[in-house]
Amino acid sequence: MPRVYLSPSTQEFNPYYDGEGNEEFYMNLIVDAMEPYLTSSGIEFKRNTPDMNAASSIRQSNEGVYDVHLAVHSNAAPENLSGRLQGSDVYFYPFSERSTRLANIIASNLKAIYLQPELVNTRATTTLGEVVRTKAPAVLVELAYHDNPEDAEWIRNNIGLIGRDLALSLTEYFGIPFVEPQPIRTAIVDIQSGNLNIRKTPSLSAQVIGQAPNGAKLTVLCSYDGWYIIKYNNIEGYVRSEYVTLEYNK
């Protein structure tokens, strides 16, 4: 399954326009909101922690194997323009086709929820560390200007919507279904013979990434169009629902 490194801002020294909360606080709330959508859609993830910084986030990302590095930030205008700028900027590495494509997807989806769609832009960068120094294709999103009251309130009032939107963009990038969060269940493999194939995507022609024997217990993250997204041992993938019997949790 796809693996994503999530890097919400660690910049607690960037207060919002009214001094209530800061960039690190609100960006971590947004990534918190992303997590249930990523889990239900079958995307594995790891994230940085508030005691880290950009350099240690890059280092931890590069120590793992990830398909995307996504940094989530809010912005601030230069001092002479403080409070006067608005908009979303999605930074990408221009020499990476995958970084460019992800940035375009994120920007397109942000236009559907941001206050002024015409102010959502993609911007090439060869200097931002979290975009150019990661092994995984990377994008850094500046969601809005936290020194602008209208932008800051948009972030505060739409934490869940923004988290959902970013998760949706990742599923679109990976070409997998976007699935709304569902209660996690347990289930038992119920087949006549052989092993149950666990597939990379919800298709009978998709790559088999693992197998589970009859009677094996699975963790069911969600259902999608006749398939379950499951975890079995260290494998996460799709299985046909007719070969699995859900257990009724007490």
Could you please report the per-residue DSSP string of 54-96?
HHHHHHHHHHS--SEEEEEEEE---GGGTTT---EEEEE-TT-
Calculate ∠ Cα 35-36-41, nearest 5°.
Answer: 100
> How does 5-21 read in b/e, with b if 16+ C-beta sit within 10 Å?
bbbbbbbeebbbbeeeb
pLDDT at 247: 87
Encode pLDDT of 99-138 as tens digits.
Answer: 999 999 999 999 999 999 999 999 999 999 999 999 999 9
Topology of the domain covering 185-246: SH3 type barrels. (2.30.30)
Mean pLDDT of the chain: 95
pLDDT at 91: 98
| CA–CA gap between residue 85 and residue 175 (Å, rounded) | 34
Using the predicted structure, report yes or no on whether residue 249 has a pLDDT greater than 70: no
Tokens encoding 47: 């994230």
| CA–CA gap between residue 76 and residue 72 (Å, rounded) | 14
Tokens encoding 225: 């169009």
Q: What is the mean pLDDT of residues 189-211?
A: 93
Encode pLDDT of 48-98 as tens digits.
Answer: 999 999 999 999 999 999 999 999 999 999 999 999 999 999 999 999 999
| CA–CA gap between residue 18 and residue 223 (Å, rounded) | 43
The CA-atom distances, in angstroms, between 114 and each of 38, 126, 152, 153, 198 are 21, 26, 12, 12, 38
pTM over the 0.85 mark: yes
CATH architecture of 3-174: 3-Layer(aba) Sandwich (3.40)
Element holding 202 (H helix, E strand) = none
Q: How far is CA 76 from the centre of its chain?
A: 23
Tokens encoding 59: 């280092």
- Given pLDDT bands bounded at 50, 70 and 90, which one contains residue 224? confident
> How does 59-79 read in b/e, with b if 16+ C-beta sit within 10 Å?
ebbeeeebbbbbbbbbbbeee
% residues pLDDT > 90 (the chain): 90
* Domain-wise residue ranges, the chain: 3-174, 185-246
Q: What is the mean pLDDT of residues 192-201?
A: 92
pLDDT at 234: 85
| CA–CA gap between residue 127 and residue 93 (Å, rounded) | 9
| CA–CA gap between residue 45 and residue 96 (Å, rounded) | 22
| CA–CA gap between residue 212 and residue 196 (Å, rounded) | 5
| CA–CA gap between residue 78 and residue 30 (Å, rounded) | 24
- Given pLDDT bands bounded at 50, 70 and 90, which one contains residue 1? confident
Q: What is the mean pLDDT of residues 210-214?
A: 96
| CA–CA gap between residue 172 and residue 250 (Å, rounded) | 36
Tokens 């006549």, residue located: 192
Element holding 78 (H helix, E strand) = none
45 near 174, Cβ under 8 Å? no
